[in-house]
Chains A and B, each alone.
Chain A
Amino acid sequence: MSDPRNLFDKIWDLHTVRSLPSGETQLFIGQHLIHEVTSPQAFQMLRDRDLKVMFPERTLATVDHIIPTDQQARPFRDELAEEMMRAIEQNCEEFGIRLLNLDDDRQGIVHVVGPEQGLTQPGTTIVCGDSHTSTHGAFGAIAIGIGTSQVAHVLATQTMLLNRPQVRRVAVSGRLQPGIYAKDVILHIIRHLGVQGGVGYAYEYAGTTFEQMTMEERMTVCNMSIEGGARCGYINPDQTTIEYLRGRPEAPTEAEFERAAEWWLSLRSGPDARFDDVVEFDAADIEPTVTWGINPGQSVGVTERLPTLSDVAEDQHAAITEALEFMDLQQDQSIQDVDIDVAFIGSCTNSRISDLREAANIVRGRKVADNVRTFVVPGSQQVFQQAVAEGLDQVFVDAGFDWRAAGCSMCLAMNPDKLRGREMCASSSNRNFKGRQGSPTGRTLLMSPAMVAAAAITGRVTDVRALVESATD
C-alpha cells in the first residue's frame, strides 16, 4: 500500500515544529504575505514587546485593499488610507520586509501577486491576514487566512498555533460545457455543502474537472473555500502547476527547478490516500450560477428559480425571507432578467488575465447597457500590462466599460469604489453579505466574469451561453 497520507497530511507533518500538550500544532509558515489593512497593529505588537521579524526573507508585503483604482497619486485624498500607506511603508522599512508598493510594477492584489511572481509553490504553508489566502492552495499548498494577532505571531516566530483540521475530498468529474466556468463550480459546491459545510475541514478539490483547469481557474475555486466554511482548500500539483511556475521570477531555476518539480509531484495525494470524508459532484449538473441572497451559499443555476418557502425546511424560512426582502426578490422567481445597476469585474477571485479575456470575448463588438455603471479592475499591474498588450483594455473601453488600475476595488468597500443606495451589482467577487460592497443597502449578485459581462451588455442577469454561442457564429 502506498502512502496513506494525503497532500495536506504530508505538508502538515513537514511543517510541524512541535505539538503542544493541549493538542495544537506549532506550524512553520513557509511564506507570509502582508497587506496594509491587517498589518499595522501586528507590527505595533512586535514593537511593544521589542521583537524583530524572525524570517524577513520569507515575508512579502503589497498594498491592495485601500488603494484607489483611478486617482493613485500620493498623498491619497482619503487621509485614513494615506495613513495606512505610510504605516506599511514605515513598518516594512523598519523591520526589513520587501514591499511591492504602487511604484513597483509587481504590485497588486496580494493573492494575484504571490502566484504570478512564482512565490506561491506546492508543498509550502502560506498565511496572510486575509481570508482569501485559501487561493494559494491551488498550487498544492496549505494556505490559510489569519487574524492580526496571528500575523504578529508569524512575524515574530514564523509559526502559529493551529488545530489540525480534517480533510474532505470534494471530487468533481466531467468536462465543463461552454459558458460554464471555475466560478460556477465553486458556487455550486458551496450551494450544496453549505456555508458552514467545511467548518473543521481542509478541502481537497479532486477529479477530472479540476485536472482540466488552468492554474487561474484553480485559484478561483480555492479562493472561495472560505465561503464554504473550510479552513483552506487545495488542488494537487501536476504538470499544469509545474509549467505555470517554470520561468516565474521567484521560482527555482535550472537543475533546482527540476529537483523542485520532482518533489512537488511527490506531495500529491496518492491512490491510497485516506480522507475523513468524500463528496462527489458531476460537472454535467453545473450551470452558470448566480447568488440571489445575502450569503454565498444562496445561489441558483441561471435557468432555475429562487426557492419556494413551502419546499424548504422550516428552519431555513427566516434566513430565506430575510434575504429575499433585502434583495427585493420574490420566492420562485427566475434569476434571469433581474435588472442590474452596476457591473464589477475584479477581485482576487476573478481578475486574472484569463478572466479578462473571457469577459472581453463577451463584450467585443457590443456596448454596455444604458444606466449600468461598470468597473473592470485587473488584479495586478502585471495583469494590467498584459491586458493592454493584448488590446483587452481597448475592447472594454470601446464597449463603454470603465477600465481601472489594479486593486481590491469594489469587492469590499474599503476604497472609493462603492455601491450607492440600493444599487444591484453583478459582481465577479466572492461575498454578497449585506453592505459588503460599500452601501448598507446595496445588493450583490455573485457570478462568473463572463456572466458579469453578459449582464453589463443586456442590463440584466442573462444566461451567458446565449452570448457565447452568438460570439462564435
Chain B
Amino acid sequence: MQAIQEVRGTAVPLLSDDVDTDRIIPARFLRCVTFDGLGAHVFEDDRQQDPQHPFNDSRFQQAKILIAGRNFGCGSSREHAPQALLRWGIRAVIAESFAEIFFGNCISLGMPPVRTNRSVLEKIHAAVHEDSKTEVTLDLNDMQIAFGTERFDAELNDSVRTALTTGAWDFLAQLIEAESQIRQTAESLPYLARFR
C-alpha cells in the first residue's frame, strides 16, 4: 500500500452540514457485490434535485479534494459512501468535522479525512468559486492546507497521519502479524473458556 504524503488538485466545495451517507450514496446502490461503478452515483438524488449541485458543476469535475461542513458522513456505516467519492475522483476530504464511522472508512481506503476551521473552509470555497482551477495542496507531513499564497493548519490524529504517510493504512497486514497474541487473548476470555 502506498504512502500518502500529500494530495494536490482542484477542489469541489460542498459546504453543508450533516451531509449523511444516504445522500452520499442512496441505499438502492448498495445492492451490489463489488464497489465498481459507485462513482457514477455519488450524491445521485441530491444532484437530480439540484441541477446546481457542485458535483454537477462542470467546473469541478476533475476535483481531487472535497471541501465539506460539520458532521460530514453521518448516518450509516456503509463504506460504499467513501468508495463512491473515491471512485468519482476524490482523494482527500477536508471538513469542519466528521462522523466517526465514516472517518474510519476513509482511512481504510487511504483517503485522508482532515479537519480545519470553518473560516478556512469558507476561504477555500470562495477561492474555488472565483477560480475553479485553484490548486489546493494538503500536505500530511506538516499538516498544512495551501492554496494561492495562503497556508492554514489541518488537523488529523497522529496515529492516522502516521498510518497514511508510512503506507501502513492497509491495516490487515499489521493485524495478521499478531496471530499468536490474538489466539492468546481468545484463550483468556471467560466466555470462550466456559466462564471458568
Contact = CB atoms under 8 A, between A and B. Distances in A.
Interface of A: 14-18, 20, 22-24, 26, 28, 30, 37-38, 40-41, 44-45, 49, 51, 54-55, 65-66, 78, 80-81, 83-84, 87, 121, 123-124, 129-131, 133, 145-150, 152-153, 156-161, 163, 195-196, 199-200, 226, 229, 231, 252, 256, 259-260, 263, 294-295, 318-319, 322, 412-414, 431, 433-436, 438, 440-441
Interface string B156-194: 011100110000100110111011011001101111101
Contacts of A319: 17-18
A24 B175 CA distance: 11
A156 B79 CA distance: 18
Nearest to B163: A22
B195 A256 contact: yes
A16 B176 CA distance: 15
B159 A24 contact: yes
Nearest to A128: B77
Interface string B85-99: 000000000000101
A438 B28 CA distance: 8
A45 B171 CA distance: 13
Given A40-B34, A145-B101, A260 B174 contact: no
Given A38-B79, A229-B74, A229-B100, 12 more contacts: A17-B185, A28-B189, A40-B33, A54-B182, A123-B190, A130-B77, A145-B101, A149-B79, A153-B175, A157-B179, A263-B195, A431-B22
A427 to B, nearest CB: 14
Identify the 3 closest CB pairs spanning chains A and B, nearest first.
Answer: A147-B79, A22-B159, A149-B108
Nearest to B36: A41
Nearest to A319: B17
A265 to B, nearest CB: 12
Contacts of A124: 191
B6 interface: no
Interface string B12-24: 0000111010110
B58 interface: no
B196 A259 contact: yes
Interface of B: 16-18, 20, 22-23, 26-28, 30-35, 45-46, 48-49, 70-71, 74-80, 97, 99-101, 104-105, 108-109, 157-159, 162-163, 168, 171-172, 174-176, 178-179, 181-182, 185-186, 188-192, 194-196
Contacts of A413: 26-28
A395 to B, nearest CB: 31
**Chain A CB within 10 A, most for which of B17, B109, B175:** B175
A289 B159 CA distance: 40
Given A123-B190, A147-B78, A22 B97 contact: no
A198 B46 CA distance: 27
A26 B27 contact: no
A159 B104 contact: no
Nearest to B171: A161
A41 B185 contact: no
A80 B30 CA distance: 9
A15 B33 contact: no
A20 B174 CA distance: 10
A118 to B, nearest CB: 12
28 contacts: A14-B188, A17-B185, A22-B159, A22-B163, A26-B182, A37-B31, A37-B78, A41-B79, A44-B34, A121-B191, A129-B77, A146-B104, A147-B77, A147-B105, A150-B104, A150-B108, A157-B182, A158-B182, A161-B174, A163-B157, A229-B71, A260-B190, A260-B195, A413-B26, A413-B28, A433-B22, A440-B26, A441-B49
Contacts of A24: 159
A145 B26 CA distance: 19
